Amino acid sequence: MSVDIKKLISQLTLEEKAALCTGETAWTTVPVERLGIPSIWVSDGPHGLRKTPIMAAETSIPATCFPTASAQAATWDVDLVQTIGQALGDECIAQSVDVVLGPGNNMKRTPLCGRNFEYYSEDPFLGGEMAAALINGVQSKGVGTSLKHFATNNQEYQRMTISAEMDERTLREIYLAGFERAVKKGKPWTVMCSYNRLRGTHASQNRYLLTDILKNEWGYEGFIVSDWGAVHDRVAALQAGLDLEMPGPQKFRVQRVVTAVQKGELDLAVLDAAVERILKIVFKAAETPKGKVTLDVDGHHALARKIASEAIVLLKNEGGILPLKNIKRLAVIGKASKEPYFQGGGSSHINPTKVDIPFDELKKLAGSMELLYADGDTMQPGLNQPMIDEAVKVAAQADVALLYIALPPFKESEGIDRPDIDLTDHQVALIKAVSAKQPRCVVILNNGSAVAVGEWINGVAAVLEAWMMGQAGGGAIADVLFGKVNPSGHLSETFPIKLSDTPATINYPGENGKVNYGEGLFIGYRYYDAKAMGVQFPFGYGLSYTTFEFKNLRVSSEKFRDVDGLKVSVDVTNSGAVAGAAVVQLYVHDEKSELVRPVKELKGFAKVMLQPGETRTVNIALDERAFAYYHPRHHQWVTESGAFEILIGKSAGEIVLRHTVQMESTQQRTAMLDRDSTLLDWMNHPRGNEIIKPLIEQAMKNLPADTPIPDWAKDLPMEVVLMWFANQSLTKAPEEMIEDLLALTR
Ligand code: BGC
């Protein structure tokens, strides 16, 4: 269907245009029947659909609850994440939903963010790749996504008001880079702005974020929707680039827009542009007929199980206790084995189509093994000694004890930050008591983000991180415990030893309405690398039931130009006895740069499945951006010629291969000169150099020929150079002269 949107806009009244830019209900846009403009339905997600007929409905229509984002990222498998997107797209079609409100791609600046379970990673490259994969999957079905929460929404504490304060480079390289990748690779139909402020201005009214960067610099063509209730001044929001306000209806806001246009406070062209973006998506959505298919409940449940099993990270496996073998009696301890904890609280909460009970799933695979059970855990604050005593008794009667430990909802949820990164006191006491009596003890964790394990991990034999694993997670855990699936998940965030080690510690949660991102670029492994600080489990970490060897790191060229990029190859061999999937992580280290850079940064990865003894070559392509950093002075991503080390790791803490290459920058960098620019900055600036040349020659005319300009002089601001060395020949005061010279460079 081809619709002439410009023509439609010319037929809309001012009132209709204003109304179109605000929702009709909590989940729909405004239709205009007389012109055949339909409305679209948006629903929460994004690890499943939460279609609720009204805003605060307790129970949404049943949908498949897939593992949450932190689990998805732990698969390090973009193809798999894309299949989640495809399944979600199908569920949207079955439930007549046009746009799913996700993925969430905020960076895990601190493990305390209550919504970390909904986010992918502490690394923008990994997060960006995951978000793009999910978006591409959903949108391949003709259904839209809403990449959220744009941007710098990295804590729940005061999320609607807090102002994130950070320097430009940190913003670009850490907090926007993942969004940029997802926007450019995934082209989401919509982007959702966040609640918080950035440098004092609410994201919903932040022109720099919404228009200058997202729409103009990144060429984003979809529409921008507000987070639910994020708009404070509707006119200012429109002027900043916010197209659709949600939820609706908001009759006062609509009237305010009408009045603003009538009074000449708001340019009609701005309103028209927002309407155009919204209508483009409305009609795009209409191209995919909805509601005529039935949900593939079993197929999607099986997919949820596969993803959950690939997301599980084997953190410890002493003496190869896993997979379970030669066991007669197995003790199963923990409420979470009977009442699984598989998703988080808040807007992403799904009403699952069905739920695997971990205990029952164990039973299905246990064969003749006898299963014993003790509740063990209370999931409430406070210690319950009788429950612990009972669990110890049961564990002592078995060959191995499994402890299902789920972080209770009061410890992590949307809307609140986590009080700490610890399990409850009861859970710690339970693990310690059980493992003291039964050292053949396996802990299975369910949580959405890093937890501290130091108090008890030495006493247990094995640990599985099973995340918020989705509705089929119970089966996935059984698959891994019994070796039906060889674990291949790797951490998408560092597990620190203790909370006070984490990068944002002294700057979190902020005060007086501001949170200072004082650690700058150094979040996650970038921080621990820079401080050479030990962690419990590094970013990228994960064990397997087999072993892998990485060999023969080679590059397409020892010397290459930034624009040509580089192809890196490495051979991976499964050197163990069972099939398994390896994750190859490629980090780049810049040996020398004008500005400080993290020790290394993830720039590529690949997951490869290998039979025992099999070797495969993994190829990873690096583009110009893999070597670039954002230069705040130049207002652009820059590459600097020189040596770069290509690092291949099994995790950020285990680099196994390295190779140095030489990159040649082809950039013609023209820094914007300003009052602070030094003599050297002027000399490096093609036009600036021309302008100052006569002045410098004049200043040096009495010195012997070829006298070099000393380094300390090159470091002086040009204004001072004028004042000290060219004073006699100046026709104006240096402060006026410098303005004239600057004008010549623009
Ligand atoms: C959340 C969004 C969600 C929206 C609609 C907000 O409170 O921050 O992630 O999509 O509500 O439920």
Predicted pLDDT at 56: 60
Nearest atom (ligand 1) to Cα of 44: 10
Instruction: Categorize the per-residue pLDDT at 702 as very low, low, confident or very high, splitting at 50, 70 and 90.
Output: confident
Q: What is the CA radius of gyration of the chain?
A: 29
619 or 727, greater pLDDT: 619
Mean pLDDT of 134-143: 98
Averaged pLDDT for residues 451-474: 98
Ligand 1 atom 5 nearest Cα:
228
Ligand 1-lining residues (CB < 6 angstroms): 44, 101, 148, 227-228, 347
How far does the centroid of ligand 1 lie from the alpha carbon of residue 696, in Å? 59
- Ligand 1 geometric centre to CA of 228 (Å): 6
Model confidence at 696, pLDDT cuts 50, 70, 90, reads confident
Task: Write down the pLDDT at residue 705.
Answer: 85
Is 740 an active-site residue? no
pLDDT in tens, 64-107: 999 999 999 999 999 999 999 999 999 999 999 999 999 999 99
Q: Which of 542, 407, 445 is nearest to 74 (CA)?
A: 542
Q: Which domains does the chain have, with CATH numbers?
A: 5-52+61-286 (3.20.20.300), 312-488 (3.40.50.1700), 548-664 (2.60.40.10), 679-745 (no CATH)
- pLDDT at res. 413: 87
The rounded distance, in Å, linking the Cα atoms of 246 and 576 is 54
| Pure H helices in 335-424 | 358-366, 385-396
Residue 706's pLDDT band (boundaries 50, 70, 90)?
Answer: confident
Which of 44, 52, 97, 225 to mutate to test ligand 1, by most ligand atoms within 8 A of the CB atom?
44
C-alpha 347 to ligand 1 mean position (Å)? 5
pLDDT at 256: 97
CB 440 within 8 A of CB 399: yes
Residues of the chain with pLDDT > 70: what percent? Answer: 99
* Whether the predicted pLDDT of 679 surpasses 90: yes
Give dist(CA 537, CA 247) in Å, integer. Answer: 41
Select, from the ranges 143-157, 675-689, 731-745, the one with the highest average predicted confidence (pLDDT).
Answer: 143-157
CA distances from 285 to 90, 189, 227, 303, 451 (A): 14, 9, 20, 26, 41
| pLDDT tens string 602-656 | 999 999 999 999 999 999 999 999 999 999 988 899 999 999 999 999 999 999 9
User: Average pLDDT, stretch 478-492?
Assistant: 98
More confident residue, 673 or 459: 459
Residue 148 CA, ligand 1 centroid: distance in Å? 9
178 Cα–ligand 1 center, Å: 20
CA distance 483 to 276: 54
CA dist 719 and 375 (Å) reads 75
For position 442, what pLDDT does the model report? 98
112-116, 213-217, 292-296: which has the minimum mean pLDDT? 292-296
**In terms of Cα–Cα distance, which of 501, 535, 529, 674 is closest to 589?**
529
Instruction: Look at ligand 1, atom 12, and give the residue with the nearest C-alpha.
Output: 347
The confidence score (pLDDT) of residue 727 equals 75
The mean pLDDT value for 667-691 works out to 85
Q: Whose CA is nearest to atom 11 of ligand 1?
A: 228
The model's pLDDT over 300-344, given as tens digits with 9 standing for 90+, comes to: 999 999 999 999 999 999 999 999 999 999 999 999 999 999 999
Q: How far is CA 353 from CA 44, 311, 447, 471, 726, in A?
A: 16, 21, 21, 8, 79
Return the ligand 1 atom nearest residue 153 CA.
8
CA-proximal residue: ligand 1, atom 3 (nearest): 347
Nearest residue to 331 via CA among 300, 371, 378: 371
pLDDT confidence of residue 671: 65
Confidence of residue 470 (pLDDT cuts 50, 70, 90): very high
Average pLDDT over the chain, rounded to an integer? 95
pLDDT score at 737: 86
Q: What's the confidence (pLDDT) of residue 728?
A: 74
Q: Choosing from 44, 227, 562, 590, which is the catalytic residue?
A: 227
Determine the average pLDDT of the residues in 504-515. Answer: 97
Best residue among 115, 347, 348 to mutate for probing ligand 1's pocket (most ligand atoms within 8 Å of CB) is 347
